[in-house]
Chain A
Amino acid sequence: MDEQKDFTPQESLALINSMISKARQRYSDKSFYYLLWGWIVIIACLLHYAFDSYQLIEEPSMAWLVMFIGAAISIFYGMRESKQAKVTHYTDKLYGWLWLSMSIGMIIVIINGQFINFQIVPLILLLAGAGTFVSGAMMKFRALQLGAVCLWAMAIFAFRLNEVEQLLAMAVGIALGYLLPGYIMKFNMKKQRGL
């Protein structure tokens, strides 16, 4: 780029437009988080279901301790990714705030379960659906938005089930709402990179 060259207002505007369009965020790969949380939640749901159904341990909800592994991996991966990133878009921060607010909402629902007759799973599915739907809109990735619709559909269904059956509904919802779009995203990114 010739720094000294004198240029017209039209050329200036064209340059501004071209740089802004270069910087416009393209499809960003967030598949890691969807696959990580998808599998972790499914494992927790199935473990909880198995512990409860076959009375394997005294406190079946201990299955959810695997979430801490997910949180640790997410934090470690996120920090490494942000250190290595050549560019940070405004939306990258927004994803963080969005999922932090959803996680806080989920924790509030979980710790107040006794006041809502332990209808925790449908509410978690509603929040997960909201986060996924907005993420899909921000990424302009339709599969995520369809995934969110699946999460909401499973929330409606889960309200009609007992607490133990709700775990299976959640596993199905997460498989359709997180895992499936996550794998599609991963596949698309690989294709984009020509791998």
Chain B
Amino acid sequence: MAFKTLDPLLHSQLRLAIMSLLVSVERADFVYIKEQTGATAGNLSVQIDKLSSAGYLSVTKGFEGKKPKTTCKITSIGIEAFEAYVNTIQQYLKP
């Protein structure tokens, strides 16, 4: 049986961590994702942009008082891609 190729967008540690986090919650802000993944703000911002450009995440930018606040939410395309990724991983792990 031929293995499906893993979605290269998800087969990256930080992007996979972001997606795994967001698939479990309704929405999360940038600071929360940064705290949970331990990534630097710059790197995180770049990876969120990549996921958002692919339509996997929707990103809302706003303000909390005077501070900027970025909120991320996984989209239905993102959920499908994540599920497909997990299914493929499971195929690889089957004995």
Partner of B37, one of A1, A83, A84, A93: A1
- Chain A: number of interface residues, binned into ranges: 20 to 34
Write out the residue numbers on chain A whose beta carbons fall within 8 Å of the beta carbon of B39.
1, 3
**Given that A1-B37, A9-B92 are contacting pairs, would A16 and B25 also be in contact in the complex, using a CB cutoff of 8 Å?**
no
Write out the residue numbers on chain A whose beta carbons fall within 8 Å of the beta carbon of B86.
13, 16
In the complex, the 9 A-B pairs of residues with the closest C-beta atoms, listed nearest first: A19-B20, A23-B24, A86-B32, A9-B92, A88-B26, A87-B28, A3-B14, A16-B20, A87-B32
Report A1-18 CB contacts with B as 1/0, cut-off 8 Å.
111110101101101100
Write out the residue numbers on chain A whose beta carbons fall within 8 Å of the beta carbon of B23.
20
A156 to B43, alpha carbons, bound, how many Å? Answer: 60
* Chain B facing A: main interface SS: helix
Smallest CB separation, B80 vs chain A (Å):
16
Report B14-56 CB contacts with A as 1/0, cut-off 8 Å.
1111001101111111011001111100010001000000000
A22 in the interface (beta carbon within 8 A): yes
Smallest CB separation, B1 vs chain A (Å):
15
B12 in the interface (beta carbon within 8 A): yes
* Chain A facing B: main interface SS: helix
Report B65-89 CB contacts with A as 1/0, cut-off 8 Å.
0000000000000000000001001
A83 to B29, alpha carbons, bound, how many Å? Answer: 11
A1 to B19, alpha carbons, bound, how many Å? Answer: 14
With contacts A4-B12, A19-B20, A83-B64 known, what are 12 further pairs, Cβ within 8 A? Answer: A1-B13, A1-B17, A1-B37, A3-B43, A12-B16, A13-B89, A16-B89, A20-B24, A22-B36, A86-B28, A86-B31, A87-B29
A22 to B38, alpha carbons, bound, how many Å? Answer: 12
A90 in the interface (beta carbon within 8 A): yes
A193 in the interface (beta carbon within 8 A): no
Write out the residue numbers on chain A whose beta carbons fall within 8 Å of the beta carbon of B29.
85-87
A83 to B86, alpha carbons, bound, how many Å? Answer: 33
Chain A CB count within 10 A is highest, among B11, B14, B25, B32, for B25
